[in-house]
Amino acid sequence: MTELPTIKPFFADKQDLVDEILGRYPDYGQRSAVMPLLWEVQRAERHINEARIAEIATILDMHPTEVKGVMSFYSTYHEQPVGKYHLQVCATLSCSLAGSDEMYDYLVDELGIVGGETDKAGRFSLQKVECLGSCGTAPVLQVNDTYFECVTRSRCRHLLDAMRADTLPEPWRERGGDNVGCRKSQTRQIPRCRRR
Amino acid sequence: MSDAVADKPQAITSRHDARYKVTLYEHVGIDNAWTLDYYLGHEGYQAAKQALTTMQPEDVVNEVKKSGLRGRGGAGFPTGVKWSFMPKPDGRQRFILCNADESEPGSFKDRYILEDDPHQLIEGLMIAGYAMHATIGIVYIRGEYHLGYERLVQAVKDAREAGYLGKDVFGSGFDFDIIVHRGAGAYICGEETALMNSFEGLRGNPRMKPPFPAQAGVYGRPTTINNVTSITSAVHIIKHGAEWFASMGTEDSKGTKLYQVSGCVNRPGVYEMPMGATFGELIYDFAGGPSEDAKAFIPGGSSTPLMPFTDEFLSAPMSYDGIAKKGSMLGTGGVIVIPKEKCIVNFMWNCIRFYAHESCGKCTPCREGVATWMPKMFQKLVVGRGEAGDLELIENMSSNIKGTGFCVHADAAMWPIDASIKYFRDEYEYLIEHGVPKYPRTSWWKD
């Protein structure tokens, strides 16, 4: 086995957090905590390396390979660090009908990286992902944990400029459907246009 | 209000019916509707209180059975019957597991409930848990729904502090608490047995059935798995009565359902409608009609066979049976309208690429067929290198892949392909013959 460089254990000073996560699950199901623990590492370090996997395995009394097996099954845990802004373009049906393929091409041109890559400065990562559950407000661009919906060409440009200036704007929330016209007032406007 | 409805013999099958009332989506889209204060100010937790303090668990199950509620996640299994499959209490821990791993392309109804009305889900879980003597509710929420996760976690915390979760809820002697578990991006985890594996900290591969989850589910203990909207529907069934719920819809599909419209329509989004309303009503009256010429639509999420955009299919009622008669399925109710100028082969390539990416790799026909050969065949067609016999090969592969997997992932990937060849064979043939698609438009992004 290759010697791993010694780095400070991630959970060493986070016993409260570990206890809280383990405490969510029953005694006989402590193994369930593997995904939340992986999430914590992924969020803090933007990737999960072998040392962290070994650490989680020790906490849960699992073999590191088992933890790695779980980790590699899911698409949102990364082995390589993602950039400060992880741009995830939904490429599935409804978003594709709304032009997400062009949005992806636009981002490739602008950022000089393709899907799965991170730029040299570690600022941007780009990834094509599958359906994000925002089909009614397509196309959607997920930046780290936040959804930006109805991303038109001009909005995409605006968003990119904002991120380059390190000012991620508040996401605009557009829902359409039953929520049209009822965001501010509590009276519901049911659209009733008759079939022409 | 349930009495007023019960007097009328005619079932409600249109949202234009004056008696129809929005229930599941009443609070979605309103600022701060996700807070406990707001929810309590709008009859929050009254249905749970009523169930826990005035009804026996068996009565709750019977009420849901009587309402005719069927699973809203896609398969459409009667919810009350599913609840009654739980074995008699034998001292083992029992679970009610809520499947909030919504990832079917075209579906986005649960996301708004999780983000804007999480207390409704908590209340539904309490009712379902009480009905099945399950003292732990689990919500498995997909990893990408970050806002929904945070709000749900906060809502659970608020509810716990206010005494709606915990020991002896409403003085009924019933203990109930909720675990919120976050997925990490895998479509297959929406399959109930894969979801249980994923929750237990294993890889999200589907499990063998039997044993069914009611016998041996999460950690080998009795478990019932329901979709978010099946569970929230139970709140309104208790609140307004099973008769009210059954007064809506068709013979085999009762109640109200959330339909989602996306693709080329003027007002995409989620619309709550009584079951049995037609596609025409949804697409024209509520979604504002197609924004450009449409040629086809997917009736219920990408796994359901698509249908041509003609009056014959648009007039079909959106009920389990009504759509089955037209050769498709209700699925999750996620309608995607496909514009005329979109090359159907390209569209299906996108679809099969999704299934290829999400195949878990457990079964050979799915791993090799769905995840490898089929996308390669479509890629070959899309780049214009198709040749005579390719279409027949795709059909042949499709019929050999179906029914051979552990779960229905492979079948679900093949159904839409079959339907697209059935209705749009000319586009496939044109592409194979000419090397360029019949509809070559590639620009779809709005400025």
Residue whose structure tokens are 């214009």: B384
User: In this structure, are strands A141-143 and B174-182 parallel, antiparallel, or unpaired?
Assistant: unpaired
What residues of chain B lie within 8 A of the CB of A24, using their CB? 179
B324 pLDDT above the threshold of 60:
yes
First-to-final CA distance of chain B: 48
A152 pLDDT above the threshold of 80:
yes
DSSP-derived 3-state class of residue B224:
strand
Domains of chain B, each with CATH number or no CATH: 21-246 (3.40.50.11540), 256-339 (3.10.20.600), 344-434 (1.20.1440.230)
pLDDT at B8: 52
Contacts of residue B227, Cβ cutoff 8 Å, sequence gap at least 6: B71, B72, B73, B74, B98, B99, B110
Beta-carbon contacts below 8 Å between A and B: 226
The residue among A76, A74, A130 whose CA lies nearest residue B203 is A74
Minimal CA separation from B326 to chain A, in Å: 22
**Do the Cβ atoms of A176 and B136 come within 8 Å?**
no
What residues of chain A lie within 8 A of the CB of B353, using their CB? 91
pLDDT at B75: 85
Together in a domain, A63 and A98:
no
Binned at pLDDT 50, 70 and 90, residue B138 comes out as very high
> Any bridge partners for residue B74, and if so which?
none
Together in a domain, A103 and A41:
no
What residues of chain B lie within 8 A of the CB of A34, using their CB? 201
Tokens of B425: 């064979």
B57 touches B131 (CB < 8 A): yes
Together in a domain, A52 and A110:
no
Tokens of B100: 């909030």
pLDDT tens digits for range B356-368: 999 999 999 999 9
A188 pLDDT above the threshold of 50:
no
A1 pLDDT above the threshold of 80:
no
Residue B205 per-residue DSSP state: P
Q: Give dist(CA B6, CA B235) in Å, integer.
A: 19
Last-in-domain residue among A35, A51, A73: A73
Q: What are the start-end ranges of the H helices in B200-294?
A: 228-240, 242-246, 279-280
Contacts of residue A105, Cβ cutoff 8 Å, sequence gap at least 6: none
Q: What is the largest CA-CA distance in chain A?
A: 72
Q: How many domains does chain A have?
A: 2
Together in a domain, A93 and A153:
yes
B430 pLDDT above the threshold of 60:
yes
A183 pLDDT above the threshold of 50:
no
Binned at pLDDT 50, 70 and 90, residue B101 comes out as very high
> Any bridge partners for residue B274, and if so which?
B256
Together in a domain, A175 and A93:
yes
State the CATH number of the domain containing residue A28.
1.10.10.1590
Is the model more confident about A196 or about B57?
B57
E strands, B164-231, in order: 166-169, 174-182, 223-227
Domain assignment present for A8: no
Domain assignment present for A59: yes
Together in a domain, A65 and A140:
no
Average pLDDT over residues B156-164: 96
pLDDT tens digits for range B212-268: 999 999 999 999 999 999 999 999 999 999 999 999 999 999 999 999 999 999 999
Together in a domain, A50 and A98:
no
What value, to the nearest 5°, has the Cα angle with vertex B277 and ends B272 and B281?
85
pLDDT tens digits for range B381-425: 999 999 999 999 999 999 999 999 889 999 999 999 999 999 999
Domain assignment present for A3: no
Binned at pLDDT 50, 70 and 90, residue B7 comes out as low
Tokens of B246: 């059954």
Minimal CA separation from B302 to chain A, in Å: 8
**Do the Cβ atoms of A31 and B338 come within 8 Å?**
no
Average pLDDT over residues A28-32: 95
Minimal CA separation from B57 to chain A, in Å: 24
DSSP-derived 3-state class of residue A57:
helix
Mean pLDDT of all residues belonging to chain A: 88
Domain assignment present for A43: yes
| A21-25, A145-149, B27-31, B51-55: least confidently modelled range | B27-31
Together in a domain, A55 and A100:
no
Domain residue limits at A121: 85-179
Residue from A94, A179, A184 whose CB has the most chain B CBs within 10 Å, to mutate: A94
Binned at pLDDT 50, 70 and 90, residue B443 comes out as very high
**Do the Cβ atoms of A194 and B444 come within 8 Å?**
no
A129 touches B187 (CB < 8 A): no
A175 pLDDT above the threshold of 90:
no
A29 pLDDT above the threshold of 70:
yes
pLDDT at A170: 85
The residue among A122, A161, A127 whose CA lies nearest residue A143 is A127
Contact status of A24 with chain B (Cβ, < 8 Å): yes
Together in a domain, A125 and A54:
no
**Do the Cβ atoms of A31 and B25 come within 8 Å?**
no
pLDDT at A179: 62
A190 pLDDT above the threshold of 60:
no
Domain assignment present for A185: no
Together in a domain, A109 and A149:
yes
pLDDT tens digits for range B64-97: 999 999 999 888 899 999 999 999 999 999 999 9
Contact status of A162 with chain B (Cβ, < 8 Å): no
**Chain A residues 87-116 with CB within 8 Å of chain B:** 91-94, 96-103, 106
Q: Give dist(CA A8, CA B13) in Å, integer.
A: 63
Contact status of A7 with chain B (Cβ, < 8 Å): no
Percentage with pLDDT > 90 across chain B: 91
Residue of A29, A92, A102 with shortest CB distance to B354:
A92
Together in a domain, A64 and A98:
no
Q: Is B76 left (phi over 0), alpha (psi -120 to 50) or beta?
A: left
The residue among B6, B227, B268, B237 whose CA lies nearest residue B121 is B227
State the CATH number of the domain containing residue A114.
3.40.30.10
Domain assignment present for A80: no
**Do the Cβ atoms of B267 and A176 come within 8 Å?**
yes
A182 pLDDT above the threshold of 80:
no
Q: Give dist(CA B296, CA B299) in Å, integer.
A: 10
Together in a domain, A44 and A19:
yes
**Do the Cβ atoms of B260 and A184 come within 8 Å?**
no
What residues of chain A lie within 8 A of the CB of B267, using their CB? 176-177, 180, 191
| B1-10, B127-136, B141-150, B347-356: least confidently modelled range | B1-10
**Do the Cβ atoms of B338 and A97 come within 8 Å?**
yes
Mean pLDDT of all residues belonging to chain B: 94
**Do the Cβ atoms of A195 and B347 come within 8 Å?**
no
A196 pLDDT above the threshold of 60:
no
First-to-final CA distance of chain A: 71
Residue of B30, B185, B336 with shortest CB distance to A93:
B336
Domain assignment present for A151: yes
Contact status of A127 with chain B (Cβ, < 8 Å): no
Cα–chain center distance at B96? 17
Residue from A20, A68, A73 whose CB has the most chain B CBs within 10 Å, to mutate: A73
Residue of B31, B269, B339 with shortest CB distance to A175:
B269
Domain assignment present for A194: no
pLDDT at A191: 43
The secondary element (H helix, E strand) that includes residue B411 is: helix B409-434
pLDDT tens digits for range B276-312: 999 999 999 999 999 999 999 999 999 999 999 999 9
* Threshold 0.90, pTM exceeds: yes
